[in-house]
Amino acid sequence: MATGVWGAFQRPASARITLKSDGTAHVASATSDIGPRTYTVMTSIAAEYLGLPAEKVKFELGDTKLPAAPVQGGSFTTASVGTAIYESAQNIRRKLLALANKDVASPFKTAKIEEVEMLDGKLQIKDDSSRSINISELMRRNNLSELVDIHEAKPSPEREKYATGAHGAQFVEVKVDPDVGTIHVTRAIEVSACGKIMNPKTSHSQEIGGVVWGIGMALQEATEIDHRYGRIMNPNLQHYHVPVNADILEIETIFVEEDDKIVNPLGVKGMGELGMVGIPAAIANAVFHATGKRIRELPITPDKLL
């Protein structure tokens, strides 16, 4: 077994929400999607806090003309851009409450902003859904075809008082052929504590990918350099080895959810890199247990065991 730690990072990021009177929303940020399904999770966050079905929210990214966002890396996109979308949705809620309270018969006259929510296309009191108003009707009554909010979210000063991180524990089983030194990871269990899990299905898939990364790092992947000329000798997938289906057997991922609002209002922590951090160390420990040989240089190839 081994353990892994990854920082719960957040970077300044901006988002724009355009809530339309037809009950749809357009959300935009100049972030990118290199594979972790940024489109999906940002749509989900916007839909949840605008009180709309996901199919009525369109999220746009990948254009520098959109509100600024950081590079995608370090496992901080959801915490950074997601927080901007969350806080922008709160601003939209404040604008709607102010519009509603222009009416002398408003059901929200005595309500504080934190007592009001957006749900199913309505602005309503959280614990009394009978005190509500249809958002589309409210906007049309005020001759508004859309409400727009552009917001930049930054890490809170409260974070500076703490060390923030996501944590994991990894358990692996390996089988080593004593004659030829080949290693197979026959079972891997990845347990992660990385805040609120926004989408369990895609998050489990991402953690499985992290385990595969770790197996590749531990057993196969190495950049071979000719130091006489500074030339990389294996710059392609013919000679740079990565795991394939036959290398991957049983993988199980488990999340221990946390409620940590110090890291950011959503309580999310990065999990992309966390899934691989402890896997190579766990494999090295398992190889030591199987063979008695402590290998301290990756990848652990047969020549280092024989």
CB atoms near residue 226 (< 10 Å): 9
Q: Which residues contact 198 (CB under 8 A, 6 or more apart)?
A: 41, 44, 45, 78, 82, 266, 268
- 204 in the Ramachandran plot: left (φ > 0), alpha (ψ -120 to 50) or beta? alpha
Burial class of residue 160 (count of CB atoms within 10 Å of its CB; 0-12, 13-18, 19+): exposed
For the question of residue 158 being annotated catalytic, the response is no
Largest distance between two CA atoms of the chain: 86
Distances (CA, A) of 305 to 17, 187, 204, 215, 302: 57, 21, 33, 17, 5
Q: Of residues 115, 152, 252, 273, which has the active-site annotation?
A: 273
Which residues lie closer than 8 Å to 52 by C-beta, 6 or more apart? 23, 24, 25, 46, 118, 121
Q: How far apart are alpha carbons 172 and 153 in whole angstroms?
A: 39
DSSP H/E element including 255: strand 250-255
Backbone angles phi, psi at 87, to 5 degrees: -70, -35
Amino acid at 240: Y
The residues carrying an active-site annotation are 273
